[in-house]
Amino acid sequence: MEMHGELRIPAPRAEVWAKLNDPETLKTCIPGCETVDKISETEFTAKVVARVGPVKATFAGKVTLTDLDPPSSYTISGEGTGGVAGFAKGSAKVSLDDAGAETVLRYGVQAQVGGKLAQIGSRLIDATSRKMADDFFNRFMGVMTSSDGAAPAS
């Protein structure tokens, strides 16, 4: 599965970069996220509860940042296991560009699933993945546009 997108954020690039690398912001923005822990400057662990059709699972995984070019771009890669539900792994190339007083965030995602998740069907997985990505970026935009930097109440 592949997804690409672009988002205009009304904040300076350095501020957007900082929030993209902040565990509390990530926990707030990732749908179903229970924990995000920063292990090092380039590694995080996370626990996320996800539902794809009839399958609901808690995924525990590790996220690694590579190709770092702060505050312009990086590649974020992750892999999580959800027990009998299977696994998910993928990567995203993220870039930030100045656009006046705004920042343009561009991303390209590649993901794979296996186990029971892979048996559900690619259209359902694709639709769920797109919804999760949309939810993440809508929440991230909420964090970036709120006056105190916290996610708005839902």
The tens digit of pLDDT for each residue in 42-67 reads 999 999 998 888 888 899 999 999 99
25 in any annotated domain? yes
153 in any annotated domain? no
Average the pLDDT over 20-26 and give the result. Answer: 94
pLDDT at residue 113, as a whole number: 85
CATH number, domain at 13? 3.30.530.20
Find, among 135, 142, 13, the residue nearest to 74 by Cα. Answer: 13
- In angstroms, the CA 27 to CA 23 distance is 6
- In angstroms, the CA 31 to CA 24 distance is 13
81 in any annotated domain? yes
150 in any annotated domain? no
51 in any annotated domain? yes
Residue 128 belongs to domain spanning: 2-145
154 in any annotated domain? no
151 in any annotated domain? no
Amino acid at 69: D
Got the DSSP string for 93-141? EEEEEEETTEEEEEEEEEEEEETHHHHH-HHHHHHHHHHHHHHHHHHHH
Average the pLDDT over 117-131 and give the result. Answer: 82
Q: How many domains does the chain have?
A: 1
Average pLDDT in the chain: 89
Query: Confidence band (pLDDT; 50, 70, 90) for 1?
Result: confident
152 in any annotated domain? no
Give the pair of three-digit tokens for residue 2. Answer: 């592949």
